[in-house]
Structure 1
Amino acid sequence: MASERPADGTVGKALDVLELVAGHGAPVRFSDLLSVSDHPKATLYRLLQTLTNQQMLRHDAESGTYSLGVRLVRLAHSAWSQSSLAPIARPHIDALSQATGETIHLAQLDAGHVLYVDKRNAARAIEMFAQAGRVGPAYCTGVGKAMLAHLDPEHLDEVLKAQSFHRHTANTIATAVDLRAELARIRARGYAFDREEHEPGIICCAVPILSRIGKPIGGLSITSSTNRATLEDLETHADKLLNAAGRIAEDAESWRFPERI
C-alpha cells in the first residue's frame, strides 16, 4: 500500500500502482485496484493512464483490465540479465538438477527478503511457494538463512529488523534471538535446513554463494517434500551444493557481480 512506503513523489506513486497490478497475478479492473489502493480515484486513474501511455501497463478496452506492459517486460529482462545471478548460474544449476533429480532454487537477498531468481524442477515436480520472481521471507527459508548466516553483524542487525517473524508453521523460528542461534549453527555447519518452516511438507538443504571476501551474493538450495525425502537424504547432496556454489561464485567474480543485501 502507498502508506507503507516513504513519500517519493509521482515516481513512488507510479511504482506503487505497478506493484498493485503485478501483485494481482492476472489482468485487473480499475475498481479492484481502487479497492486496495490508498490513492484517490482521480489520482489512481491518472497514474494508470500515464503508465499505459508509457507502455509500462497495458489496458484492454474490451475487458476493462490492466496488465503489465511490454516496456516493463523489456526492463525486467534487462534487470534479470544485468543484476541477477541467474544467467551466470544457469549451467551450474542445470548440472546440479541433473545430478540430484530434485528441485533446485537460486536466490538473492533483496532488502532483507529472499528473491528467487531461478528454479529447476525435479523430475516429479512439487507444488510449492518458491518460484522464480517471487519474494519470500528470509528467516524461515533455507536459502534465506544460509545467506543471513554470512552477513556482517551490522548488516544482519538491519536485516533482522525487516523480518516479520510470522509463524507460518509449527516449526517456524519466530524470534530474532532464536534465529541468531540458528545462524550460528549454520555458519559452523556450512549449510542450512528448512525444516518445514515456511510450508508444511516442504524441506530443503541450502548453502550460501559467497564472494571472494566472504559476503553472500546468493543462495542455492535443493528442495523436496517429506512425502519422498528426509532432511538426511537432502544432506547427502550438501557437498554438491557447496561445489556448485563455489563455481557460481568464481564465475560471478569474473563478471564483477555486485554484492548487496
Structure 2
Amino acid sequence: MTESKGGDGTVGKALEVLDLIASFNRPVRFAELQGKSPFPKATLYRLIQALTHQGMLAQDPDTGAYAPGIRLVRLAHAAWQQSSLAPIARTHIDELSRMAGQTIHLAQLDGGQVLYVDKRNAREPVEMFSQAGKVGPGYCTGVGKAMLAFLTEAELDAALARQSFHRFTPSTLTTRETLLKELEAIRTRGYAFDREEHEAGIVCIAAPILSAGGRVLGALSITGTLLRTTLTELESFAPLLLQTARAIAQDAESWRFPGQQTAERSAE
C-alpha cells in the first residue's frame, strides 16, 4: 500500500483504500481490510461504501468480498490509452521481440516503483514476476535502475526514499550508496543490467526512454533466463535496444491527444 498522503483529505483516503484492495490481487473481505488499514473501522466502512456506490468497487453479493469495480476498469483502460507508452510503443516492441527472441518489457515509473505497462514473451516463454499491470521495485530491476539513473536530483531523492532495499537474491543491491554507484555507471554506459537482482536466474539489459529534453518517459528491457542465455549475449542487443528506445521516445514526443490536435487545427 502507498504511504499516507495526510493532506489530501477524503479523496486521498479513498485512493489509499483502492490501493489496499488492489494489493490483495483477489476479492477481499472487510475483516481482512480492517486488519491492514490504518483507518478506524467506521471510517474504512464509510469509504468502502462510498467507493462501492460510485462503481469504483464491486461487492460480491454471496461472499461480501470487495474487488475493483467496472467504473475503475473503464478509467484504467482510458489511462492506459491516454497516459501509457504502451499504445505508442506496440509496433516497436513487437519488432524488438521478433529480432531478439527474448522477453521484452515496457515500463514507466510510478512513485519510485516500476509499473509494467506492456510485455512480449520470448519464443520460449519463461514464468517470471513481471506482467503488464504489475508493480515492481525500482532499485533491483533493470528497467527501474534505467529510469532512476536519469531522474533529476530532486526526483531521484524522492524516488530513493521510497525504496525498501529488501534483499530478494544474493545479488540485490541493498543500500542507497551501492545503488547510487550503480546509477552513475548506468548514466555513463547508457543502459542498465539486472544481474539476478530481483529473481534468481533472470537477467536483463534495459534502456531508458528519454524525451528530447532528457525527461524520463519510461524504460525498455530485453530479459532472459540463464538457462537459455547469458548477460553477455543480451548485451549484444544493446545497440538495437537503444535504437528502439529512441524510436519510442520520438513517437511519444510527436503524439498528441485528439482534443489538443483539434484545438491546434482550430487556431490555424
Q: TM class by shorter-chain length?
A: over 0.9
CA distance in 1, matches of 2:151, 2:38: 35
* Structure 2 SS opposite 1:8: helix
Q: Residues 16-27 of structure 1 correspond to what in structure 2 (within 5 A)?
A: 16-27=16-27
User: 1:154: which partner in 2?
Assistant: 154
After alignment, is 121-130 or 64-73 more displaced?
A: 121-130
User: 1:102: which partner in 2?
Assistant: 102
* Structure 1 SS opposite 2:241: helix
Q: Write the deviation string for residues 158-217 of structure 1: whole angstroms up to 9, x where unpaired.
A: 322222222221111122222122112112222111000111111100011111122221
Judging changes above 3 Å, is the alpha-carbon distance between structure 1 residues 2 and 177 closer, same or farther for their aligned structure 2 residues? closer
User: 2:265: which partner in 1?
Assistant: none
Q: CA deviation at 1:2?
A: 8.3
CA distance in 2, matches of 1:29, 1:18: 13
Q: Residues 195-234 of structure 1 correspond to what in structure 2 (within 5 A)?
A: 195-234=195-234
Check if 1:9 corresponds to 2:9: yes
User: 2:56: which partner in 1?
Assistant: 56
CA distance in 2, matches of 1:200, 1:221: 17
CA distance in 1, matches of 2:244, 2:29: 44
Check if 1:38 corresponds to 2:38: yes
Q: CA deviation at 1:115?
A: 1.3
Check if 1:137 corresponds to 2:137: yes
Q: CA deviation at 1:256?
A: 5.6
Structure 1: 5+ residue stretches without partners: none
Q: Residues 106-125 of structure 1 correspond to what in structure 2 (within 5 A)?
A: 106-125=106-125
Q: CA deviation at 1:144?
A: 1.1
CA distance in 1, matches of 2:41, 2:191: 49
What is the RMSD of the two structures over their aligned residues, measured on CA atoms? 1.7
Q: Write the deviation string for residues 118-151 of structure 1: whole angstroms up to 9, x where unpaired.
A: 1111122222111111221111111111112222
User: 1:184: which partner in 2?
Assistant: 184
For residue 74 of structure 2, what is the amino acid of its counterpart? R
Q: Write the deviation string for residues 87-137 of structure 1: whole angstroms up to 9, x where unpaired.
A: 111110111111111110001112222111111111222221111112211
Residues 171 and 197 of structure 2 are in contact (CA less than 8 Å); yes or no, is this contact kept in structure 1? yes
Residues 2 and 13 of structure 1 are in contact (CA less than 8 Å); yes or no, is this contact kept in structure 2? no
After alignment, is 143-152 or 74-83 more displaced?
A: 143-152
Q: Write the deviation string for residues 28-61 of structure 1: whole angstroms up to 9, x where unpaired.
A: 1122212212222222222221111111111111
* Structure 1 SS opposite 2:126: coil
Q: Write the deviation string for residues 65-98 of structure 1: whole angstroms up to 9, x where unpaired.
A: 1111110001111111111111111110111111
How many residue pairs were aligned?
Answer: 257
User: 1:241: which partner in 2?
Assistant: 241
For residue 130 of structure 1, what is the amino acid of its counterpart? S
Judging changes above 3 Å, is the alpha-carbon distance between structure 1 residues 2 and 248 closer, same or farther for their aligned structure 2 residues? closer
Q: CA deviation at 1:155?
A: 2.5
Residues 30 and 66 of structure 1 are in contact (CA less than 8 Å); yes or no, is this contact kept in structure 2? yes
Identity of aligned residues (%): 62
For residue 137 of structure 1, what is the amino acid of its counterpart? P
CA distance in 2, matches of 1:15, 1:200: 34
Judging changes above 3 Å, is the alpha-carbon distance between structure 1 residues 2 and 205 closer, same or farther for their aligned structure 2 residues? closer
For residue 107 of structure 1, what is the amino acid of its counterpart? A
Q: CA deviation at 1:7?
A: 4.3
Judging changes above 3 Å, is the alpha-carbon distance between structure 1 residues 156 and 40 closer, same or farther for their aligned structure 2 residues? closer
Structure 2: 5+ residue stretches without partners: 258-268
For residue 68 of structure 1, what is the amino acid of its counterpart? P
* Structure 1 SS opposite 2:6: coil
User: 1:29: which partner in 2?
Assistant: 29
Judging changes above 3 Å, is the alpha-carbon distance between structure 1 residues 215 and 35 closer, same or farther for their aligned structure 2 residues? same
User: 1:169: which partner in 2?
Assistant: 169
